[in-house]
Amino acid sequence: MKINEKRFPLLENCRNNFLINPQAIISPEEWDLMRDDIEKQLKLFDKLKLDISYITKPIHQKLKDIKNFHKAKTLLQNIPETYGYAILPEKFKPQLVKDTEDYDLNEFEYDSVLFAFITQETHDLNAWGKLDEDMMEDEEERKDYLAGRWLLVFPIQNGKIKYCIRDSNICVSEEFGDIHGHEAWDAYGNLLDYIFSYLIFYNFTETENKIIYGAETGLQRKVKIDNEKYLNDTKNNIEIIDTNYFTKIIRTGEFGVSGHFRLQNYGQDNSQSKLIYIEDYKKKGYTREAKQDIKK
């Protein structure tokens, strides 16, 4: 599997994990009002390093099944600001777009996602240049308001942002796991859920990082995972998100149980949480610990 700029053209506009020409990734078909909004939101990425990742198919399938992560959604408030570009192993079609005379479903497919997970303060300063003081009439309201976290997603097809961006404030609404609507501009609700799941998975599982480095670094550009080879043919460092992210793999028992995630508390007074993955199991076996500590 070769990861290159021909296959994922947005990487042409990245150098050393920085987005260098944001305007070039806006589709020329965007109408003026939407273009203005996209241009404003893309300012978030100015001079900020992107976490670029390739999500392998086994993890991709788990992330699409959001019930694995919805039970752990309270963890989202503990995740630091993240600016990322997630490359998908297959084209992903929004679940909620209806095939009508007005919309061609194929045009809504995307192959990767540019996203920003930011604090309420960062959101307000980028959107309006100041905090929304009307939402902070006293110290308690101020604390609750600033605890907000925003997720912005930019669906990408062939290197261009397609149709719209979507955002969600996880502390104000219950959008993670909700029905998002059926109109075209609200078509990417399941994409929000996918990235919410990815953020929980990435930050709250113990990991063995696999990074393939950019062409100009002189460092390792190839890796083999589960009998598949990956080659980074770009000028950016890319992290491979694969099955070795699972915290702990347990096989035990004598009856069939399908693989699933479990939220596990640990630490002093069980004050911290992490996700572990329990593989399918049918017979007595073993427990294998993760190779690396939880992300700090």
Chain centroid offset of residue 14 CA: 18
pLDDT at 293: 37
Domain count, the chain: 2
Contact assessment for residue 49 and residue 17, using Cβ atoms and an 8 Å cutoff: yes
User: How many percent of the chain have pLDDT more than 70?
Assistant: 70
Contact assessment for residue 261 and residue 277, using Cβ atoms and an 8 Å cutoff: yes
Crossing angle, helix 139-146 and helix 120-128, to 10 degrees?
Answer: 90
Give the highest mean pLDDT range of 36-45, 53-62, 145-154, 178-187.
53-62
Provide the residue range defining the domain that includes 181: 2-203
Q: Two tokens at 169?
A: 């404030």
Q: For the beta carbon of residue 290, count every other beta carbon within 10 angstroms.
A: 19
Do 61 and 159 lie in one domain? The reply is yes
Question: Per DSSP, what are the bridge partners of residue 21?
Answer: none
Do 131 and 275 lie in one domain? The reply is no
pTM to 2 decimals?
0.79
- State how far the Cα of 188 lies from the Cα of 286, in Å rounded to an integer: 41
Counted residue by residue, the chain has a size of 296
Q: Where do the DSSP E strands lie in 56-186?
A: 82-92, 110-119, 149-157, 160-161, 166-169
Whether residue 190 is predicted with pLDDT greater than 80 in this model: the reply is: no
The reply to whether 293 falls in a domain is no
pLDDT at 283: 44
Mean pLDDT score of the chain, rounded to an integer? 77
Do 127 and 274 lie in one domain? The reply is no
pLDDT at 187: 56
Q: Residue type for 79, please? A: I
Give the highest mean pLDDT range of 80-84, 145-149, 223-227, 289-293.
80-84
Do 92 and 178 lie in one domain? The reply is yes
Do 138 and 261 lie in one domain? The reply is no
- State how far the Cα of 248 lies from the Cα of 139, in Å rounded to an integer: 42
Give the highest mean pLDDT range of 2-6, 28-32, 90-94, 97-101.
2-6
